């Protein structure tokens, strides 16, 4: 008979079970009973740690995807840097099916804070570097402008959710290029760029 698991080990098993259930059946059909069964444990063990289904799900996502904020890229150009950020975001977004994202937001609107973060920790340094290189006249952009590509990408993901799941890397890059070249760069660069 296998020994009983505890603490970290048990917790990790449960969160991985939850994440597996989500990937296989989606969030709507995620049941606490199902997760418990898959982790070979009882419901009470889950409810001892998370107060309800939503919070369990959030914990599972965080466990599976790791920290939200990506590294600050330094590719030598504003375009390259921002592109790197968009790629990192898209990689993360690929795990959010529409059904999962909307389901979570409907039951826990404050989760939006996590999903819609403006990421100044990343964007501000990028803009400062660009200004130092002389690519843009000033790094001091209104937040709405600084986060524009970020927001547009996210909007794209909300608007045609599921799109990330089928978009190959080349197609995603084309989308990023469109947003950067048609909208963001014309808006922030000195006229001659």
Partner DNA sequence: CGAATAAGAGACGATGCGTCTCTAAGTCGG
Partner DNA sequence: CCGACTTAGAGACGCATCGTCTCTTATTCG
Q: How far is the CB of 54 from DNA (least distance, A)?
A: 7
Per CB under 7 A, 33 contacts DNA:
yes
> Which lies closer to DNA via its Cβ, residue 12 or residue 187?
12
| Residue choice 29, 62, 159, 174 for contact with DNA (CB under 7 A) | 29
φ/ψ of 190, rounded to 5, equals: -60, 155
Per CB under 7 A, 77 contacts DNA:
no
By CB under 8 A, the count of residues binding a copy of itself is 33
Site string for a copy of itself, 9-48 (x = CB under 8 A): ------------------xx--------------------
Q: Which long-range contacts (CB under 8 A, 24 or more apart) does 26-35 make?
A: 26/97, 26/99, 26/100, 27/57, 27/97, 27/99, 27/100, 27/103, 27/104, 28/99, 28/103, 30/57, 32/56
The HSE-up count of residue 106 (CA atoms within 13 Å, CB side) is 8
Q: What's the CA gap between 10 and 87, in Å, rounded?
A: 33
Per CB under 7 A, 53 contacts DNA:
yes
Q: Which residues bind DNA (CB under 7 A)?
A: 1, 3-7, 10, 29-33, 39-45, 47-48, 51-53
């Amino acid at each position: 008979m296998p020994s009983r698991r505890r603490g970290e080990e048990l917790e990790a098993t449960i969160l991985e079970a939850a994440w597996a259930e989500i990937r296989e059946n989606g969030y709507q059909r995620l049941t606490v009973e199902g997760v418990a069964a898959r982790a070979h444990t009882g419901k009470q063990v889950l409810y001892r740690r998370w107060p309800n289904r939503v919070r369990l799900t959030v914990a599972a996502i965080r466990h599976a995807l790791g920290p939200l904020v990506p590294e600050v890229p330094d590719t030598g150009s504003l375009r390259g840097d921002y592109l790197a950020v968009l790629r990192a975001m898209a990689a993360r977004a690929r795990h959010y099916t529409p059904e999962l994202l909307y389901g979570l937001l409907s039951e826990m609107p404050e989760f939006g804070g996590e999903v819609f973060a403006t990421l100044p920790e990343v964007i501000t340094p990028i803009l400062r570097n660009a200004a130092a290189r002389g690519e843009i006249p000033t790094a001091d952009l209104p937040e709405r402008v600084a986060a524009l590509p970020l927001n547009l990408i996210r909007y794209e993901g909300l608007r045609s959710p599921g799109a990330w799941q089928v978009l190959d890397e080349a197609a995603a890059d084309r989308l990023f290029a469109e947003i950067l070249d048609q909208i963001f760069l014309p808006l922030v660069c000195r006229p001659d760029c």
